[in-house]
Amino acid sequence: MSHRAVLALGSNVGDPIATLQGAVDALAAAPGLRIVAVSSPYRTAPVGGLEQDDFVNAVLLAETTLGPHELLASCQSVEAAFHRVREVRWGPRTLDIDVIDFDGVIDDDPELTLPHPRAADRAFVCVPWSEIDPDAVVPGRGRVVDLLDVLDMSGVHRITSTVLAVPGSAS
């Protein structure tokens, strides 16, 4: 059985563009996961109050035969391959991959809350998500394009000089 998943990627350490492309490549090679679309990369201001470099963020749509916790484990495995360290909440990171939505499931599981509890409040998620899925909905919160009407998008800037490529796709 195939499920639809939305993943958000972010990086602000090293070469974020290369890291995000590497993450897309690694996720595309993960068993049980097929990438359907990847947004443009966006340069975004950090949130959480820590002084740090801007992030580069992107969102991808995937089809998967994995369950939500298996998908999370796969994402964490890719993060680990890119030397993700969890020292400071909302701090700098080589790679962050969040499961934003999984088949519209609403679940308060502390290990994997679905949809992601802050997705609807984050322009750096909603802007790239709406780019690749204009009809997207954050379960329990509404259409992503409608959420954009109330989000501060001043810190979100599309990087037009770079395209994140899905391995094996014609684009």
Instruction: Tell me the DSSP string of 32-80.
Output: TEEEEEEPPPEEE---SS---PPEEEEEEEEEESS-HHHHHHHHHHHHH
Distance CA 122, CA 147 (A): 9
Q: Which CATH architecture has domain 3-158?
A: 2-Layer Sandwich (3.30)
Task: For residues 154-169, give the mean pLDDT.
Answer: 91
Q: With 90 as the cut, is the pLDDT of residue 75 above it?
A: yes
Structure tokens belonging to residue 103: 């088949």
What pLDDT is stored for residue 118 in this prediction? 94
Contacts by residues 29-33 (CB-CB < 8 Å, ≥ 24 positions apart): 29/167, 30/74, 30/77, 30/78, 32/64, 32/65, 32/66, 32/70, 32/74, 33/62, 33/63, 33/64, 33/66, 33/71, 33/74
Q: With 90 as the cut, is the pLDDT of residue 88 above it?
A: no
CA 108 from centroid of its chain's CA atoms: 19
What pLDDT is stored for residue 170 in this prediction? 59
What pLDDT is stored for residue 83 in this prediction? 87
Domain ranges of the chain: 3-158
Q: What is the pLDDT of residues 18-50, one digit of tens each?
A: 999 999 999 999 999 999 999 999 999 888 767
What pLDDT is stored for residue 47 in this prediction? 81
Catalytic residues: 84, 93, 96, 98
pLDDT band at 167 (very low <50, low <70, confident <90, very high): confident
137-138 vs 142-143, strand pairing mode: antiparallel
Task: For residues 140-158, give the mean pLDDT.
Answer: 95
Taking the model in full, what pTM does it have? 0.94
What pLDDT is stored for residue 48 in this prediction? 72
- % of residues, the chain, pLDDT over 90: 84
What pLDDT is stored for residue 40 in this prediction? 97
Residue 32 in contact with residue 1, Cβ under 8 Å? no
